[in-house]
Structure 1
């Protein structure tokens, strides 16, 4: 008797990537179930516009129908608020710039699918991320073949058990390849636009201000100063600013200016007109997460990436207190507290950590 094909739970966001991921798994002989995580509360603040959630369930249902697979919806609105939105707002209030996508992947999306494997009698979970996983006793998370869409930066927090249960069908495809397959299969998601960086925004397109509205928190004004401490104006909340920002500063300096420092204790924003003030040779982090499950031997020579769109840079990592010290081969611009620094070797993720502050 022929053994039954293993079942895969595919995270269906309603976009083209997850739809094609499901289609590829069907072609490979898996039994596929589409799963959409409901993360948008039924009652939403009038000042908040949701992006990735708009029509997601309906679009995912249509894609599953076109593929001939079952579609399920799991309610994770409470988990999303507790594990993503609340921590993000705390970070903004502390003068840091959060990366909610990392928290959402680790604590909501992959966690939800992994927890649902046994009840669904499924062996694997899959997503439409551009990344590659190599299964084994020491699983590896590696960059996608199509570098412009590689998303491993957002996945550094996944543990070995989750990685060994994960499939990334788009690992070796480009975005054009994906859209071509969607058109070939006549999927309703073929022309759906790519998801936005933020899950929801306010009327002006700001994620941080949308969070403030969401939690009904009053903005705390404070001074905008130059490096000497001279007051240039007043802001409407430090959550509106990030290190390196040069637009929407709230004051006119007559020259191109950048946010160089955010002081959450005094609610002060410091601007500089000297780009060298933004450059740092090293940084400190909070606790780190390692794909292997344990810290490597230090000092660690690797490549470090300080934001999603930044190129990785040669670095040396050492332990310092409860966190890490990361020294770069050359100075980096606008190292941002609250963002992740992710460590790579041979295009595979070693781990990552949250940036606490930049060093000269």
Structure 2
């Protein structure tokens, strides 16, 4: 909530009824609660749902966001709360900006994070521009993250509920986008509070399960999706020990990720082995002992910096970083190479760092997100 009593809860110096807010509605409980909450406060709410893919196509799955029943659920919430709701067909944009890169990254031996690209290239880009076209004062989403005003403008901070925090997936939010965005759920202490609000407003999605995995990947089966998108992608090859021994064969590099241990199909060995490298050109899966996964030097590019001064104005930044969404931040030193590239040195080695994942920067002591970038092979 703003400290200035002259401002409304979204930070504008006018009554809620004169403040138009576009709410990005996925059809789930989080964004539905945001829309209901703002409608009850008297804001001029406009709900917008993106259809990102054909819900009847083979790539989609039951219960995923942004298709089929979820569009219907978002519309029902809008009808219940009495505000307009629009569905925009973003299938082509989503395929070009997210799905194609997802497939190509896997084919190149990387492990992509399409949810970040969706926020960056679709929701916080095209949808945000649509909100401005609708003459909205701001756009609100159901993400669990906080926007706070600092000495130099809006800052991005972790959600109050660490278990729900989505900062890893939102590091690429630019300062310009952050000025226009609002995250009304970021201060809540638990998902239970969100569901209690949904019940309070009588929303039909109050008990709806959370969406799981990537929306266009059925049952987490990445390989089958990539084979549909890129026929012939699963060419067989060799599983090779780091010392050069050929241990077996595989049915396609796309079936493997860095750090994988289970399902390698090379049983009967005396030591546990892990995937330590994917050589796409040679069609080889390289395996080795666990200690080969430990990494301290992480090359990062396409950096989005949210600090108060220019990224490359200092030779070093002492921060904490996340190299996977499920891991806690670890202390590190960032050494800028340019305004958008850097070498990140982890004070303690991390295992299973993979090209294609994000490296997100945090204040060492605090909740602020300072930006991040994409891990690459170097």
Q: TM-score range by the shorter chain?
A: over 0.9
Change (3 A) 1:140 1:208: farther
1:266 to 2:279 alignment:
no
Q: Residue 55 of structure 2 contacts residue 68 of structure 2 at CA under 8 Å; is this kept in 1?
A: no
User: Superposition pairs for residues 209-288 of structure 1, below 5 Å?
Assistant: 209-254=224-269, 256-272=272-288, 274-288=289-303
Change (3 A) 1:85 1:17: same
8 Å Cα contact 2:33/2:194 also seen in 1: yes
* Kept after mapping to 1: 8 A contact 2:145/2:159: yes
Cross-structure match for 1:111? 125
Say whether 1:178 aligns with 2:194. Answer: yes
Secondary structure of 2:93 counterpart: helix
Contact 1:281 1:332 in 2 (8 A): yes
Q: C-alpha distance in 2, partners of 1:334/1:347?
A: 25
Residue by residue over 1:66-119, the C-alpha shift from the partner in whole angstroms, topping out at 9 and shown as x without a partner, is 222211101111110011011111111110000101100010012132111232
Counterpart of 1:200 in 2: which secondary structure? coil
Q: What does residue 51 of structure 2 align with?
A: 38
CA distance in 2, matches of 1:324, 1:25: 41
SS state of the match for residue 357, structure 1?
A: coil
CA contact (8 A) 1:99 1:340 kept: yes
**CA RMSD between the two structures:** 2.1
Deviations 1:100-150 (A, max 9, x none): 011000100121321112321211101100001124753211101011100
Q: TM-score, normalised by structure 2?
A: 0.88
Between the aligned partners of 2:350 and 2:377, the Cα distance in structure 1 is 13
Aligned to 1:308: 325
Counterpart in the other structure of 1:77: 91
Q: Give the SS at the match of 1:147.
A: coil
**How much has 1:313 moved relative to structure 2?**
0.6
The partner residue of 1:341 within 359, 363, 375 is: 359
Query: 1:24-49: CA deviations, max 9, x gaps?
Result: 2223332111110010137723x763
* Aligned-residue offset at 1:54: 4.5
SS at match of 1:92: helix
Where does 1:13-52 land on structure 2 (aligned, <5 Å)? 13-41=26-54, 44-45=57-58, 49=61, 51-52=64-65
Instruction: Tell whether the 8 Å contact from 1:209 to 1:239 is kept in structure 2 after alignment.
Output: no
Structure 1's 180 and 30: CA in aligned 2 closer, same or farther, altered over 3 A? same
- Distance in structure 1 (CA, Å) of the matches to 2:242 and 2:55: 46
* Aligned equivalents of 2:120, 2:208: Cα separation in 1: 25
Count of matched residue pairs: 354
Asked if the contact 1:200/1:207 (under 8 Å) is kept, the reply is: no
Q: 1:338–1:355: 8 Å Cα contact kept in structure 2? A: yes
Structure 2: gaps (5+ residues): 1-13
1:9 to 22, 25, 35: 22
Query: Partner residue of 1:290?
Result: 305
Residue of structure 1 aligned with 2:204, choices 188, 193, 218: 188
Q: Give me the whole-angstrom Cα distance separating, in 2, the residues matched to 1:323 and 1:280.
A: 18
Deviation at 1:164, TM superposition (A): 0.7
Q: 2:101 aligns with which of 80, 87, 93?
A: 87
Relative contact order (C-alpha < 8 Å, sep 6+): which is higher?
1
